[in-house]
Amino acid sequence: MTSIKDKDAAQLSEGEAVKELARLAKEISGHDKLYYQEDEPSISDAEYDALRRRNGEIEARFPSLVRPDSPSQRIGSKPAERFEKVRHSRPMLSLDNAFTDEDVCDFLGRVRRFLGLAEDQELALVAEPKIDGLSCSLRYEQGELVMAATRGDGTEGENVIANVRTIDDIPQKFRAKKPPDIFEVRGEVYMSHANFAAINKRQEKAGDKIFANPRNAAAGSLRQLDPKITARRHLRFFAYHWAETSNLPGETHWEVLQALKAWGFPVNPLAKRCRNVEEALEFYNEVQRKRADLGYDIDGIVYKIDRLDLQNRLGFVSRSPRWAIAHKFPAEQAESVVERIAVYVGRTGVLTPVAHIKPVTVGGVVVQNVSMHNEDEVARKDVREGDTVVVQRAGDVIPQLVRVIEERRPKGTEPYKMPEICPACGSHAVREVNEKTGQPEVARRCVNTLSCPAQVVERLYYFVSRAAFDIEGLGGEFLQLLLDSGLVKEPADLFTLKDHPEDFHAVFKKHFESISARNAEKRGKAAASKKVKEDKTEYLVGNKLLAAIEARRKVPLDRFILALGIPHVGETTAKLLARFFHSWDAFIAALQSDTAVAELDEIEGIGEVIAQAIKDFFDEKHNRHALDHLLKYVEIENVAVQTASGSPVAGMTIVFTGSLEKMTRNEAKARAESLGAKVAGSVSKKTDLVVAGPGAGSKLTEAEKLGVKVIDEDAWIALSGTSA
């Protein structure tokens, strides 16, 4: 029987999709932390991209199943604490990925449909090698470099200006007679193969850490507290975009790149303007052939719509621009042996089998754990302990078990059988039957949802995660210790820890000693010379953690909604709800209405499934009790809606109906939301405005019945200031 992990997204049932998305969210989150915060990824970029791609494919099929902790709602990871934090003038977003020529054609097809462009209209692209380094934003004022920041979580990064000044490729001042008053250049800091080899040679000679790959070395070098160390690493830089600017030196992406080059910024010499998709794909194949001889790492090609007016019209989705995509190179593969198969219990009680393999290097990264998603996946591939298997890093990032080499299977092995008892609590673990199909669900789940320690810890871990309450330092291991001690049983208990300082510090000391022991084991003999006064240190760190918890007593509405872990409510949906209701009181009041599901369903982007899930969550007695307890300790902030200055539709609820002839429906909705309006899917008494095109039907009739103001497309263009 085919396991869920090996099934195509198109073949998954809804139950299987729920389980697969849970697995992907947890696995990707762990890799994000290793990659963005610790600069030590455990999988290749190809493997990681494959995981994110699969997550996106499943969410596209089942939009109502998007999780609160979905990778599609995140950009990178939070900034480290060693540097001053910098808020980006414009978010530093990630890119969606393409892995085949068909994916690239689909991307351009989506762009044409969004913009309403005919197939014969030229849609030029700029194609650039995707550098495998660390993104960096450089702010210039009157031509002088005044700020440099890493991507961080996309909204807030780290101030690395002192280190950036040591990079020869980055000009301290524009080479222009009259530079713009403000211009933010964005690009990639990287390390050449030659410098990487030289650095590792020095590191080995000094007995210091050996970097796994040039990307890790570049990231670690840029984030050194001592700029002198950064200077010795000889980092490089390629400019590829911009953010805030008082004046753009061109009307196309290509023209601005040429201006950056003229101003003294290094622009990748392979970058090319392509008139169509055929030229772009030819460029991809050409660069792939040259890849090994470039002298620096790239993992694909980035395509960007050339015309800036079209980029502006396309805008962005939650974590990426609609006008760009990364065409990744194929994944690398390697062979290893399955030493054992272990089962882990997730936040929702799902049992996930993981193959622990002999460590093997794939694409420059050591892989030793490969998730197999569920027992169907294990059975389909017939993975057994002792098997020799082929693994790859999907998208050069996420580890995947491709297949078993059956001819090398040891004699006497038995097919793996999933346990029917939860390994975390000893309760029964069952496969529920889907009411619609009558077939068993793909995932096996622990029935002890209320007190299974694995689930409690995971729910708390999600509550304090970066996108939710963002409490730094509360990892799964420490949360488990707090749970075992009886100090914490639900989220509200976190805010009472300060009332039990002696008990808290006793637990934290145990946690601190465990970490210190592991670090000492890694350092070996050097530990003795580097040992600190741990009793004093753990006390100070423990107090810092208590302070971090106290600092999160006030939380924005969208983060609070997300932290609750409501099924199907991810970061994007939480923000949508916060923007629509503005306050917690308004949100709760709506849920207490007899028509709550219908009202939620009217919100653009919600839908009946999500609406019902929200209502069911708040109707559950246990959830209400925990929520009432939590509200005694936290204050929920209304989320301010950012609107264009002087917006005539800010705060209004707008419904679009009928055919639009001068812009696409998606473009019209995106424009309305950018002006601070709420876009609803149906007309009600709360609707302020209906934009009706030819063919408007029942929505127009309902608007006229309720006396809602109705305008046509031309009036909307004039009202919104949209260019026709």
Q: Where are the domains of the chain?
A: 4-74+334-408, 85-318, 471-550, 554-637, 653-720
Confidence class of residue 171 from pLDDT cuts 50, 70 and 90?
Answer: very high
If phi over 0 gives left and psi between -120 and 50 gives alpha, with beta otherwise, what is residue 533?
A: beta
Q: How far apart are CA 335 and CA 62, in angstroms?
A: 34
Distance CA 60, CA 52 (A): 12
Task: Using the predicted structure, report yes or no on whether residue 190 has a pLDDT greater than 80.
Answer: yes
Q: What is the number of other CB atoms lying within 10 angstroms of the CB of residue 290?
A: 11
Q: Tell me if 22 sits within 8 A of 372, measured CB to CB.
A: no
End-to-end CA distance of the chain: 54
| Calpha distance 256→250 (Å, rounded) | 5
- Full DSSP string of 490-553: SGGGGGGGGG-HHHHHHHHHHHHHHHHHHHHHHHTTHHHHH---HHHHHHHHHHHHHHHHHTTS
**Of 284-293, 425-434, 714-723, which has the strongest mean pLDDT?**
284-293
Look at 127-136, 526-535, 539-548, 618-627 and tell me which has the smallest mean pLDDT.
526-535
β 324-328/85-87 pair status: unpaired
pLDDT higher than threshold 50 for residue 309: yes
d(CA 566, CA 331): 35
Q: What is the predicted pLDDT for the residue at 5? A: 80
Does pLDDT of 438 surpass 90? no
Residue 35 has pLDDT above 60, yes or no: yes
pLDDT digits (tens, 9 = 90+) for 654-677: 999 888 888 887 788 888 877 878
How many whole angstroms separate alpha carbon 291 and alpha carbon 325?
Answer: 19
> Tell me, which fold does domain 554-637 have in CATH?
DNA polymerase; domain 1 (1.10.150)
| CA-based nearest residue to 339, from 378, 385, 403 | 385
Three-state SS letters, 231-281: HHHCCEEEEEEEEEECCCCCCEHHHHHHHHHHCCCCCCCCCEEECCHHHHH
The answer to whether 130 is a known catalytic residue is yes
Tell me what pLDDT residue 281 has.
96
Q: Which pLDDT band, with edges at 50, 70 and 90, does 3 fall under?
A: confident
Residues 6+ apart with CB under 8 A from 480: 453, 457
Better-predicted residue by pLDDT, 328 or 81: 328
Per-residue pLDDT reduced to its tens digit, 458-470: 788 888 988 899 8
* Higher per-residue confidence, 449 vs 682: 682
Alpha helices in 675-712 (DSSP H): 698-706
Mean pLDDT (the chain, rounded): 84
| pLDDT tens-digit readout, 372-418 | 888 888 899 999 999 999 998 755 557 889 999 999 999 999 999 99
Helices and strands: H and E segment counts in the chain: 25, 24
Query: Which of 299-303, 332-336, 466-470, 593-597 has maximum average pLDDT?
Result: 299-303
Q: What is the pLDDT of residue 433?
A: 60
Mean pLDDT of 530-547: 66
Instruction: Tell me the pLDDT tens digit for each residue of 345-357.
Output: 876 778 999 999 9
Which band of pLDDT confidence, cut at 50, 70 and 90, is reported for residue 82?
A: low
The neighbour count for residue 492, using CB atoms within 10 Å, is 17
State yes or no: pLDDT of 76 exceeds 80.
Answer: no
Q: Decide if pLDDT at 133 tops 80.
A: yes
Q: Tell me which residue of 600, 612, 602 sits closest to 566, measured CA to CA.
A: 612
Residue 46: its pLDDT value, please? Answer: 67
**Architecture field, domain 85-318:** 2-Layer Sandwich (3.30)
What's the mean pLDDT in 156-184?
91
- pLDDT for 434 beyond 80: no
Residue 525: per-residue pLDDT:
41
Between 398 and 243, name the one with better pLDDT.
243
CATH number of 4-74+334-408: 3.40.50.150, 3.40.50.10300, 2.40.50.140, 3.40.50.2000? 2.40.50.140
**Per-residue pLDDT averaged across 143-161, rounded?**
91
* For residue 641, pLDDT beyond 70: no
pLDDT at 527 over 60: no
- Which residues contact residue 167 at a Cβ distance below 8 angstroms, ignoring those fewer than 6 apart? 189, 230, 235, 236, 237
Instruction: Please state, in angstroms and rounded to a whole number, the distance separating the CA atoms of residues 694 and 66.
Output: 34
Q: What is the predicted pLDDT for the residue at 320?
A: 87
Predicted confidence at residue 437, as pLDDT, reads 65
Strand, helix or coil for residue 387 = coil
pLDDT of residue 48: 76
The dihedrals phi and psi of 466, each to the nearest 5 degrees, come to: -55, -45
> What was the pLDDT predicted at 214?
87
Residue, of 303 and 93, whose pLDDT is higher? 303
Contact 175, 127 (CB under 8 A): no
Q: In this predicted model, which residue has the larger pLDDT, 356 or 204?
A: 356
CATH 3.40.50.10190 for the 653-720 domain, yes or no: yes
Question: What is the average per-residue pLDDT within 74-85?
Answer: 60
Task: Quote the pLDDT of residue 432.
Answer: 63
| Rounded Cα gap, residues 346 and 366, in angstroms | 24
Quote the percentage of the chain above a pLDDT of 70: 88
Cβ–Cβ under 8 Å, residues 468 and 634: no
Q: What percent of the chain has pLDDT over 90?
A: 35
**Residue 101, pLDDT score:** 94
Q: Residue 343 and residue 328: Cα distance in Å, rounded?
A: 32
Could you say which of 130, 272, 575, 615 is catalytic?
130
pLDDT of amino acid 311: 94
Structure-model confidence comparison of residues 129 and 695, the more confident one? 129
Tell me the β-bridge partners of 337: 388
pLDDT tens-place string over residues 8-28: 887 888 888 888 998 998 888
- Mean pLDDT across the stretch 485-498? 90
